[in-house]
Structure 1
Amino acid sequence: MNALGEARVYRAAIIGTGGIAHAHAQAVERSGGRAELVAVADVDAGRAREFADKYGVPHAYAGAEELLREQRPDTAHLCTPPRLHAPLALACLEAGVTALVEKPPTLSLAELDTLIEAERRTGAHVATVLQHRFGAAAARLRRLQDSGELGRPLLATCLTQWYRDDAYYAVPWRGTWESEGGGPTMGHGIHQFDLLLSVLGPWSEVTAVAARQARPVDTEDVSMALVTFESGAVATVVNSVVSPREASELRFDYERATVEVEHLYGYTDDDWTVTPAPGQEQVKALWGAERGEGTSGHGDWLAAVLDALDRGQAPPVTTADARRTMEFIAALYASAFTGERVRAGQITADSPFARRMDGTGAPWRNP
Structure 2
Amino acid sequence: MAGRRYRTAIVGAGGIAVAHVRALQGLAHRADLVAVADVDLGRARTFAERWDVPHAYDGVAELLDVQRLDLVHLCTPPEHHTPLALQCLRAGATVLVEKPPTLSLAEFDVLVAAEATSIAHVATVFQHRFGSAANRLRRMTAAGVLGRPLLATCATQWYRDDDYFAAPWRGTWESEGGGPTMGHGIHQFDLLLSILGPWRELTALAARQARPTDTEDVSMALVTFDNGALASVVNSVVSPRQTSTLRFDFENATVELEHLYGYDDRDWTLTPAPGHDALLAQWAAGADNVPSGHAAQFSAVFDALDRDEAPPVTTTDARRTMDFVASLYASAFIGDRVRSGLIGPDSPFATRMDGIGAPWKEPSIS
TM-score category (smaller protein): over 0.9
Tell me the SS of whatever aligns to 2:247.
Answer: strand
Tell me the SS of whatever aligns to 1:53.
Answer: helix
Work out whether 1:332 is the aligned partner of 2:331.
Answer: no
Q: How many positions carry a matched residue from both structures?
A: 363
Tell me the SS of whatever aligns to 1:122.
Answer: coil
C-alpha deviation, 1:115, in angstroms: 0.4
Q: Which residue of 2 aligns with 1:18?
A: 14
Q: Which residue of 1 aligns with 2:228?
A: 232
Q: Which residue of 1 aligns with 2:361?
A: 365
Tell me the SS of whatever aligns to 2:178.
Answer: coil
C-alpha deviation, 1:294, in angstroms: 3.5
Tell me the SS of whatever aligns to 1:167.
Answer: helix
Q: Which residue of 1 aligns with 2:178?
A: 182
Tell me the SS of whatever aligns to 1:80.
Answer: coil
Contact 2:96 2:124 in 1 (8 A): yes
Tell me the SS of whatever aligns to 2:142.
Answer: helix
Q: Which residue of 2 aligns with 1:289?
A: 285
C-alpha deviation, 1:179, in angstroms: 0.2
Aligned with 1:209 (options 195, 205, 210): 205
Q: Which residue of 2 aligns with 1:271?
A: 267
Aligned with 2:247 (options 247, 251, 258): 251
* Between 255-264 and 25-34, the greater mean CA deviation after superposition: 25-34
C-alpha deviation, 1:297, in angstroms: 0.2
> Which letter does structure 1 place at the counterpart of 2:164?
Y
> Which letter does structure 2 place at the counterpart of 1:121?
T
> Residues 27-38 of structure 1 correspond to what in structure 2 (within 5 A)?
27-38=23-34
Q: Which residue of 1 aligns with 2:112?
A: 116
C-alpha deviation, 1:284, in angstroms: 1.2
CA distance in 2, matches of 1:318, 1:197: 14
Contact 2:264 2:289 in 1 (8 A): yes
Structure 1 segments unaligned to the other structure (5+ residues):
none
Work out whether 1:299 is the aligned partner of 2:287.
Answer: no
Q: Which residue of 1 aligns with 2:150?
A: 154
CA distance in 2, matches of 1:106, 1:339: 25
Work out whether 1:343 is the aligned partner of 2:339.
Answer: yes
Q: TM-score, normalised by structure 1?
A: 0.98
CA distance in 2, matches of 1:49, 1:253: 50
Tell me the SS of whatever aligns to 2:53.
Answer: coil
Q: TM-score, normalised by structure 2?
A: 0.98
Aligned with 1:8 (options 4, 8, 11): 4
CA distance in 2, matches of 1:70, 1:293: 40
Tell me the SS of whatever aligns to 1:363.
Answer: coil
Tell me the SS of whatever aligns to 2:263.
Answer: coil
CA distance in 1, matches of 2:194, 2:200: 14
Tell me the SS of whatever aligns to 1:20.
Answer: helix
C-alpha deviation, 1:346, in angstroms: 0.8
Percent identical across equivalent pairs? Answer: 70
C-alpha deviation, 1:45, in angstroms: 1.0
CA distance in 1, matches of 2:217, 2:249: 28
Q: Which residue of 1 aligns with 2:165?
A: 169
Structure 2 segments unaligned to the other structure (5+ residues):
none
> Which letter does structure 2 place at the counterpart of 1:99?
V
* Between 150-159 and 31-40, the greater mean CA deviation after superposition: 31-40
CA distance in 2, matches of 1:296, 1:27: 12
* Between 187-196 and 49-58, the greater mean CA deviation after superposition: 49-58
Contact 2:133 2:289 in 1 (8 A): no
C-alpha deviation, 1:7, in angstroms: 2.0
Contact 2:218 2:238 in 1 (8 A): yes
Q: Which residue of 1 aligns with 2:193?
A: 197
C-alpha deviation, 1:267, in angstroms: 0.3
Q: Which residue of 1 aligns with 2:67?
A: 71
C-alpha deviation, 1:293, in angstroms: 2.7
State the Cα deviation string for residues 219-245 of structure 1 (Å, max 9, x = none): 000000000000000000000000000
CA distance in 2, matches of 1:144, 1:166: 42
C-alpha deviation, 1:32, in angstroms: 4.5
Tell me the SS of whatever aligns to 1:12.
Answer: strand
| C-alpha RMSD of matched pairs (Å) | 0.9
Aligned with 1:144 (options 137, 140, 143): 140
> Which letter does structure 1 place at the counterpart of 2:340?
A
> Which letter does structure 2 place at the counterpart of 1:233?
A
> Which letter does structure 2 place at the counterpart of 1:285?
A
Q: Following TM superposition, where does structure 1 have runs of at least 4 consecutive aligned residues deviating by more than 4 angstroms? A: none
Tell me the SS of whatever aligns to 2:359.
Answer: coil
State the Cα deviation string for residues 302-349 of structure 1 (Å, max 9, x = none): 001001111111111111110000000000000000001000111111
State the Cα deviation string for residues 341-360 of structure 1 (Å, max 9, x = none): 00011111111001110001
Contact 2:101 2:108 in 1 (8 A): yes
Work out whether 1:59 is the aligned partner of 2:55.
Answer: yes
Aligned with 2:128 (options 110, 127, 132): 132
CA distance in 1, matches of 2:314, 2:278: 35
CA distance in 1, matches of 2:29, 2:51: 14
C-alpha deviation, 1:72, in angstroms: 2.4
> Residues 218-229 of structure 1 correspond to what in structure 2 (within 5 A)?
218-229=214-225
CA distance in 2, matches of 1:366, 1:351: 22
Work out whether 1:320 is the aligned partner of 2:316.
Answer: yes
> Which letter does structure 1 place at the counterpart of 2:317?
D
